[in-house]
C-alpha cells in the first residue's frame, strides 16, 4: 500500500461546536437576552477566518497558553458582537466559557466509520491541530483519542500551522515519510498548502462547499476518503 499514515486536523474536520458555531453562538446570545439568529452569525463567519489569517501573517501564536487563547477569542467574539450592535462588556467572556466547555462539542457523523476503516487497513492515524491543550480531553470524551497514536496539538507543542515544523514533528513521531503521509483538513491555507509544501498528500474536506474552486483533492465527507486513498471496505 502506498500510504502508511493519515493525519487529521481537528476543528471542523473531526469535531465541531454543537450543533454548529453559528447556532451555538446565537443560542448563547438569545439566552443572554439578545435576539440574534444563526444566519446573522453565519453572515459574519469570515471574522474567524480573517483573524486566523492575521495571526498567521504576524506569527502570532494564539493557542499556546490559556491567556493567549482567551485574549484571541475575546477579540473574535467582541468583533462579532460589535458588528451586530451588541454592547455587553461581559458577554465575550460568557462566549469564551461556553466554547471551551467540552459538553458543547460533537464528532461529525462520518468520523467514526472512517477511523474504523482506516484502522482496519493498518494505517497509523494522527492529529495535527491548531487547538488548545484541552483537545486531548475532548478527543477522550468523544471516544476517539485511542485511534490516534500521534497527537500533535499546538497548545501542547508551541507550534501552529502553517509552520511546516508541526507537520514534520508529527511524521517524525509516527516514523513515516512525507510521501507516504496523508493530511486531511478543512482550510486550504492552513491545511492543504503547508502539508503539500512538506511533501504530504493533502485532502481538503469541504463540508459546506466553501472552496468550490480549490485545486487538488476535495471531498465533502470523510465517507469519500477511503476511495481517495484507494482502500476498499472490508
Residue 233 lies in a domain: no
Residue 142 exposed, middle or buried by CB count within 10 Å (0-12, 13-18, 19+): middle
Could you tell me if 100 and 110 lie in one domain?
A: no
- 135, with CB counted inside 10 A (0-12, 13-18, 19+), is buried
Residue 31, pLDDT > 90, answer yes
Residues 152 and 95 in one domain: no
Q: What is the pLDDT of residues 134-164, one digit of tens each?
A: 999 999 999 999 999 999 999 999 999 999 9
Residue 131 phi/psi, 5° resolution?
-155, 155
Q: With 60 as the cut, is the pLDDT of residue 234 above it?
A: no
Q: 206 pairs with which residues across the strands? A: none
Considering only residues 180 and 52, tell me which one the structure prediction assigns the higher pLDDT: 180
Residues of 44-78 as b/e, b for ≥16 C-beta within 10 angstroms?
bbebeeebbeebbeeeebbbbeeebbbebbeebbb
Q: What is the CATH number of the domain that holds 51?
A: 1.10.150
Tally of CA atoms within 13 A in the half-sphere of 26 that contains its CB? 17
Q: Average the pLDDT over each of 26-30, 84-88, 183-187 and give the range with the smallest value.
A: 84-88
Number of domains in the chain: 2
Predicted confidence band at 214 (pLDDT cuts at 50, 70, 90)?
Answer: very high
Residue 110 confidence (pLDDT) above 80 = yes
pLDDT attached to residue 232:
65
Q: What are phi and psi of 15, to 5 degrees?
A: -125, 160
Same domain assignment for residues 65 and 153: no
Of 111, 81, 84, 118, nearest in space to 96 by CA: 81
Amino acid at each position: 500500500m502506498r500510504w502508511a499514515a493519515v493525519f487529521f486536523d481537528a476543528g471542523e474536520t473531526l469535531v465541531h461546536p454543537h450543533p454548529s458555531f453559528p447556532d451555538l453562538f446565537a443560542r448563547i446570545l438569545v439566552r443572554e437576552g439578545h435576539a440574534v439568529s444563526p444566519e446573522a452569525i453565519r453572515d459574519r463567519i469570515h471574522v474567524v477566518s480573517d483573524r486566523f489569517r492575521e495571526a498567521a501573517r504576524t506569527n502570532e501564536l494564539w493557542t499556546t497558553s490559556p491567556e493567549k487563547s482567551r485574549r484571541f477569542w475575546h477579540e473574535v467574539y467582541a468583533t462579532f458582537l460589535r458588528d451586530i450592535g451588541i454592547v455587553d462588556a461581559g458577554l465575550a467572556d460568557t462566549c469564551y466559557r461556553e466554547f471551551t466547555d467540552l459538553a458543547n462539542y460533537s464528532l461529525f457523523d462520518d468520523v467514526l466509520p472512517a477511523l474504523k476503516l482506516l484502522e482496519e487497513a493498518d494505517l497509523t492515524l494522527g492529529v495535527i491541530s491548531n487547538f488548545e491543550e484541552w483537545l486531548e480531553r475532548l478527543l477522550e470524551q468523544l471516544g476517539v483519542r485511542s485511534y490516534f497514536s500521534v497527537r500533535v496539538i499546538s497548545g501542547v507543542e508551541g507550534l501552529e500551522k502553517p509552520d511546516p515544523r508541526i507537520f514534520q514533528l508529527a511524521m517524525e513521531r509516527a516514523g513515516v515519510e512525507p510521501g507516504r503521509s496523508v493530511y486531511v483538513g478543512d482550510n486550504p491555507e492552513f491545511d492543504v498548502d503547508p502539508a503539500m509544501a512538506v511533501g504530504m498528500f493533502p485532502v481538503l474536506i469541504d463540508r459546506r462547499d466553501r472552496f468550490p474552486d480549490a485545486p487538488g483533492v476535495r471531498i465533502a465527507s470523510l465517507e469519500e476518503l477511503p476511495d481517495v486513498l484507494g482502500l476498499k471496505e472490508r
